[in-house]
Amino acid sequence: MPGKVISIANMKGGVGKTTITVGLAHAFAGENAAAKAMRILVIDLDAQANASFWFCGDQKLTELIESGRTMDAFLEDAVVLNQKRSLSDYAHVLARASARGDLAVIPCSPELRLIEREMTYFLSERRASLKEVENVVAELLVSELGALKEKYDLIIFDTAPGISALTEAALRASDVVIVPTVPDFISNLGLEAFCRSVWWANHSGSELQRTPWVAANMVKDTKHHAAMLAEMRAESQAEDAGFKMFRIEIPCSEEIEEAGARVREAEGAAAAAFDPGASLLFAAFAKEIADIINVPAPLTEPR
């Protein structure tokens, strides 16, 4: 069965997209009730390259950038230079300390933003409209995903804040779009508008609107967060709701915040990303997602 595709997206930055990407990737690559070794691929579409650094570490990411094994290098080769390339060749398989599922990443570098601009200029010179630019990127990504979905059971896109041609393409290709949101007033500004803008093509090529799923993240034990959560959940249950909500609420946790620092010291994903408590939290989150997209759910209780 072809693999499934998830996008982690929000126009607002600072809502924890990369942390959720990392947590879910590790959770799905762990043990599951079906005793199946899941093959997980993370594709970093954010020029900040935080997910790339988290998974690879500074030294390995530098090597991959210098050897041209990044998402931006692929786009430059395939679109600007018109060279035949396979995106699967740009995947870096991570070293793992156990015999569980495989975990790989297609990293990016800060050059991704420049390459996106270069692609737009390049195609505009050929009288392509902005919509046509988006279609070129989307068609390329969908084409490459065909082969990747035969190789991996789950593909997770970590997208950049805002909406770019790359993010649009990822949303179109996804089976589910997850929108991490901090339950405060400022973070919720524009949430409904963003969720209603999430469109992607089905297998016949026609465009359908799908309802994205909001994940409450960095939740604090305050009256403001409690009130906003109640408001968001009520809105998600309305007849014309623009989004649904996961049951899980990811707390504002010092342990989760500092996980990136520990990975830095371990040079990437050689060490566990989170402590056992946080890992079980992300496993419970992954189980909700697994039920939606019909993939094996991670174990949510320690053995």
Q: Is residue 200 over pLDDT 60?
A: no
- In angstroms, how far is CA 6 from the centroid of its own chain? 6
Distance CA 285, CA 261 (A): 23
For the segment 208-221, what is each residue's pLDDT rounded down to a tens digit? 446 899 999 999 99
Cβ-based neighbour number of residue 133 at 10 Å: 21
pTM to 2 decimals?
0.91
The two three-digit tokens of residue 199, written as one number: 């469109």
Q: Which residue has the higher pLDDT, 95 or 186?
A: 186
Please tell me the predicted confidence (pLDDT) of residue 206. Answer: 39
CA–CA separation, 14 and 143 (whole Å): 31
CA distances from 100 to 1, 5, 35, 263, 293 (A): 20, 20, 9, 19, 21
Cα–Cα separations (whole angstroms), residue 130 to 74, 123, 266? 21, 9, 42
In sequence order, the 6+-apart residues with CB closer than 8 A to the CB of 95 are 268, 269, 270
- Indicate the domain borders of the chain: 4-180+254-279
What percent of the chain has a predicted confidence (pLDDT) above 90?
Answer: 47
What confidence score (pLDDT) does residue 204 get? 39
Average pLDDT over residues 146-172: 91
CA-CA distance, 57 to 263, in Å (whole number)?
A: 7
Q: What is the pLDDT of residues 239-270, one digit of tens each?
A: 888 889 999 999 988 777 777 666 655 555 54
* CA-derived radius of gyration, the chain: 19
Pick the CATH number of 4-180+254-279 from 3.40.190.290, 3.40.50.300, 3.30.70.1140, 1.10.10.10: 3.40.50.300
Confidence of residue 222 (pLDDT cuts 50, 70, 90): very high
Least confidently predicted of 60-74, 84-98, 288-302: 84-98
Q: What is the mean pLDDT of the chain?
A: 84
Query: Is residue 53 classed as helix, strand or coil in its secondary structure?
Result: helix
Confidence tier at 202 by pLDDT (50, 70, 90)? very low
C-alpha 4/C-alpha 155 separation (Å) is 6
Give the sheet arrangement for strand 176-181, strand by strand.
Answer: 92-93, 102-106, 39-45, 154-159, 4-8, 176-181, 213-219, 244-251
Alpha-carbon distance of 251 to 258, in angstroms, equals 14
Per-residue pLDDT, averaged over 267-281, amounts to 68
pLDDT at 102: 86
Mean pLDDT of 99-115: 86
Q: Which residue has the tokens 């230079």?
A: 81
What is the Cα–Cα distance from 287 to 123, expressed in whole angstroms? 41
Find the mean pLDDT for residues 204-208. Answer: 41
Residue 238 has pLDDT above 70, yes or no: yes
| Two tokens, residue 122 | 């390049």
pLDDT at 211: 82
pLDDT in tens, 175-192: 999 999 999 988 887 787
Closest to 102 in 3D by CA, of 227, 236, 234, 3: 3
Instruction: Find out whether 119 and 77 touch, Cβ atoms under 8 Å.
Output: no
**Cβ-contact 288, 248 below 8 angstroms:** yes
pLDDT over 50 at 67, yes or no: yes
d(CA 191, CA 187): 8
Helix axes 165-173, 130-151, angle to 10 degrees: 50
Report whether 1 contacts 117 (CB < 8 A). no
> What confidence score (pLDDT) does residue 136 get?
81
pLDDT digits (tens, 9 = 90+) for 21-58: 999 999 999 888 777 788 999 999 999 999 999 888 88
